[in-house]
Structure 1
Amino acid sequence: MTEEAPEPIRRRPGGRAERVRRAVLTAALEILTEEGVARLGIAAVAARAGVNESTVYRRWGTREKLVLDAVLTGSSEGVPVPDTGAVRTDLAAFARALAEYLATPAGRSVARAASLSSDDPDLAGAWQTFWQSRLDQAGAIVDRAVTRGELPAGTDTALALELLCSPLQTRSLLGHRPIEPDLPERLADMVLDGLRGGAAG
């Protein structure tokens, strides 16, 4: 008599820890969108996510780290860094994703919160980390372009991305003006003209 092989254990992707993480980050972004960063506390997030406060403290430790993880996750998912194989289409795709994200309540809330100064040094430090993390992620667009020879070595990555993104943020958060469908491509062309022209000069 041949023994049957044991049925393999089936594990659900992610598991409970990932489900808890997603629930907490979703709750944090919802509170940030609805009430702003000043009202975002660990107790409120835990209650909305349906977990114990101790679970949140054990994973994130502080409110500032929770805020940082939530906005980084939200912005990374909402504004992914494209890799189309060409710098112009990368820049245009990134600008379009940012414009679409800024048109959502969550995107506007994250951008407003991140643009405010804070008297809390820990929270101010979290926002600085947020901006640097996004710069590091999106900087891959410029790094790849330099490697391909589309942009000169020594191109100022931070300046390139600021030139691309600032008009979109200004229109969405300050001017309340619509973003034309062709604006991402126009901004990409203007940024590239400036970077290449500056290098030639």
Structure 2
Amino acid sequence: MRSHDQRATTPVTSTRAAYPSRGRLFSIAGAIALSAALGACSVSYPISGGTDEITTGSVDASRPAAAPKDAVVSSPLAPPPGAAAPQTSQARPVAYAPAAQKPVEDPAITPSDWAYARGALSLAMGADAVNASVPWANPDTGAYGSFSATASATSDNGATCRAFAASHSGGGREQRLEGTACRTAAGYWEAVALKATASRTL
């Protein structure tokens, strides 16, 4: 056991010198607060006399952030170099409008042919079957042809009508025809519409 004199002579080591004083720490904290308040500034302050530095700073709020490179900030007034400007459609003048398609040819059935063809038309329209062909011929002109109903009879505004197909050969050509016939008050069928759909030279 140590004596009282030995304990009294034992040196006492203080750790206070190893750390900065309280006043020095307050000075460092004040410098950091001042740097944050000023903004866009950098303050370096040595600690414990060494070479280490504390760098602080802030972003200037008054400066706008830069837009990304791919962000569109305004609409272009002209196409980029090398690009063609969009073409706007313009109304074409009437002179360039496509011509209306004309029928192949007008029906070549003459009034003389109708004197023989009308009977065949009435028989074909009165038949119950569809596509039943009824032929006719004109001995005076040598023309000939046929009629056949292509649909059942329908009632239109009180009139009974039926669509038909026909053929006509005469005058060196052959025609394919189609039309509509309606039954008159007298009871026979009369063609009310007729047009040529095809024609060829014999």
Query: What's the TM-score, normalizing by structure 2?
Result: 0.20
Query: What's the TM-score, normalizing by structure 1?
Result: 0.20
Greater percentage in strand: 2
Greater percentage in helix: 1
